Amino acid sequence: MTVQTEDDYEDLLGLWSDLESGLGIVLGNPDSIQEFEPRVWQYDRWMQALLKRDTDVGLYLLFQLATNSPVGYSASHALVCAVLCHLIAVDLKLPQTERDSLVHAALTMNMAMTALQDELASQVDKPSPAQRNVIGTHAASADLMLGARGVVDALWRHIVIRHHDDSIDLGALQDLSPVNRLVRILRVIDRYAAMISPRKNREGRTATDSARALLSNAIAQSDEVGQALIRTVGLCPPGTYVALDNHEIAVVTRRSQTLNQPFVVIVINEAGALLNPPRLHPTTQGQPAIENSLAASAIHERLNHHLILQLGVNAARQIEGQLPESAKAGAISHRV
């Protein structure tokens, strides 16, 4: 599916939103779900099918959903973690069975505190003693819930019960057992996804700040997981906002071969006014450059996301030589 029209954009956004809301129903009401494990597999296949259409567009919509509102935080967090685990599994060339167990653990690791996660996302005060007790026991409780619902994948369940275990944070990834390797991957992804998500008691950190924090730790500890995450989504993932060194503001639309030089679409000019139409700018081709990243809360204008994505898709096709000459001319006219 392309995003050449507003209907295309709305249809694709609707599919990602439906996936997120459907996952929220499964995680929030597991007792009412018949054939729980097949349902998790179904959502996994749905997620993969959407990513296969266009990974950059999928990441754009996912980060937009994750960073713009704390509503439905638990399902949003699970979906972000599952997508990133899938992409890292591909990057690290994990065996298919390990990839499957990792992604399913990402989807279900917090199922014992779904309602509490949503509550905490909109709660200003610190967790109460009762809430802290649920937080402290949720991994073991989730494992018991999975067992009660017929999940027999031991690796999936081991990852869930140990996804806060920091004893496996040191050492080379290839020297770890499969379960320890996958637990470490999920721990890194879990922290990154939590960093970028907003709460009532704090704004989400920018994706770039989160990535740099992880990258610093990855370099210091030779952590392949943090490095793979940055390699996979970049320092500025699609769907996140950046300030340029000429005082314009842009939204990242596609990754490039250079981690800190993605394709961006400039949406606000140096005077702070909405740019209409928005303008595509491949930062690999020179100024203006990205100066820093911005939290989603810093953007108050209503953006034309379908046009932003259309510019990004056209840029990718142009690079691949897939655009007809007439379309190439139209795409180039929006460049800096």
**310-322: pLDDT as tens digits:** 888 777 666 654 4
For residues 84 and 75, give the distance between their C-alpha atoms in angstroms, rounded to a whole number. Answer: 14
pLDDT tens-place string over residues 227-268:
888 888 888 889 889 999 999 999 999 988 887 789 999 999
**The predicted structure's pLDDT at residue 82:** 97
Question: 226 and 99 in one domain?
Answer: yes
| Mean pLDDT score across all residues of the chain | 84
**Which range is least confidently modeled, 93-107, 133-147, 219-233, 245-259?**
219-233
Q: What percent of the chain has pLDDT over 90?
A: 51
pLDDT tens profile 23-59: 999 999 998 998 999 999 999 999 999 999 889 999 9
Residues 324 and 213 in one domain: no
Q: How much is the pLDDT for 44? A: 98
Which letter does DSSP use for residue 322 in this model? -
250, 160: one domain: no
The CATH number assigned to the domain holding 25 equals 1.10.3210.10
Query: What number is the average pLDDT over the span 197-212?
Result: 56
Domain presence at residue 1: no
User: Which is more confidently placed, 169 or 270?
Assistant: 270
- Is the omega angle on the peptide bond into residue 238 within 30 degrees of 0, that is, cis? no
- Overall residue count recorded for the chain in this entry: 336
Distance CA(100)–CA(123), nearest Å, equals 33
What pLDDT does 115 receive?
Answer: 92
pLDDT of residue 113: 95
Residue 210 and residue 291 in one domain: no
Least confident of 6-20, 94-108, 177-191: 6-20
Q: What confidence tens digit (pLDDT) does each residue in 267-307 have?
A: 999 999 999 899 999 888 889 999 888 877 788 888 888 88
280: β partners: 265
236 secondary structure, DSSP code: S
Say which range, 114-118, 173-177, 211-215, has the weakest mean pLDDT. 211-215
Does 149 lie in the same domain as 13?
Answer: yes
CA distances from 269 to 72, 274, 276, 287, 314 (A): 33, 6, 10, 14, 22
Stronger pLDDT, 163 or 4, i.e. the higher one: 163
Count of structural domains within the chain: 2
Tokens 């690079």 belong to which residue? 319
Q: What is the 3-state secondary structure (H, E, C) of 41-98?
A: HHHHHHHHHHHHHCHHHHHHHHHHHHHHCCCCHHHHHHHHHHHHHHHHHHHCCCCHHH
**Distance of alpha carbon 86 from alpha carbon 24, whole angstroms:** 19
Contact (Cβ atoms closer than 8 angstroms) between residue 250 and residue 242: yes
Rounded to 5 degrees, φ, ψ at 199 are: -130, 165
Q: Does the structure show a pLDDT above 80 at 211?
A: no
- At residue 139, the pLDDT reads 96
Q: 332: which 2 tokens?
A: 């180039």
Residue 192, pLDDT score:
85
Q: How far apart are CA 178 and CA 166, in angstroms?
A: 16
0.85 exceeded by pTM: yes
214, 141: one domain: yes
Say how far apart CA 296 and CA 205 lie, in whole Å: 9
182 and 281 in a single domain? The answer is no
pLDDT tens, 84-94?
999 999 999 99
Find where tokens 């704390």 sit: 70
* 153 has pLDDT over 90: yes
Average pLDDT over residues 155-159: 98
Domain of residue 279, residue span: 241-332
Give yes or no: residues 24 and 115 share one domain: yes
In order, the DSSP letters of 92-157 are TT--HHHHHHHHHHHHHTTGGGHHHHHHHHT--SPPPHHHHHHHHHHHHHHHHHHHHTT---HHHH
Q: How far apart (Å, rounded) are the C-alpha atoms in residues 112 and 38?
A: 19
Written as six digits, the tokens of 219 are 């370099």
153 domain residue, yes or no: yes
Instruction: Kindly state whether residues 259 and 216 are assigned to the same domain.
Output: no
Q: What percent of the chain has pLDDT over 70?
A: 84
Cα(64)–Cα(240) distance, rounded to whole angstroms?
Answer: 7
Mark whether 180 and 276 lie in a shared domain.
no
Strand order in the sheet with 290-294: 274-282, 263-268, 249-254, 241-244, 290-294
The domain boundary residue, chosen from 201, 233, 265: 233
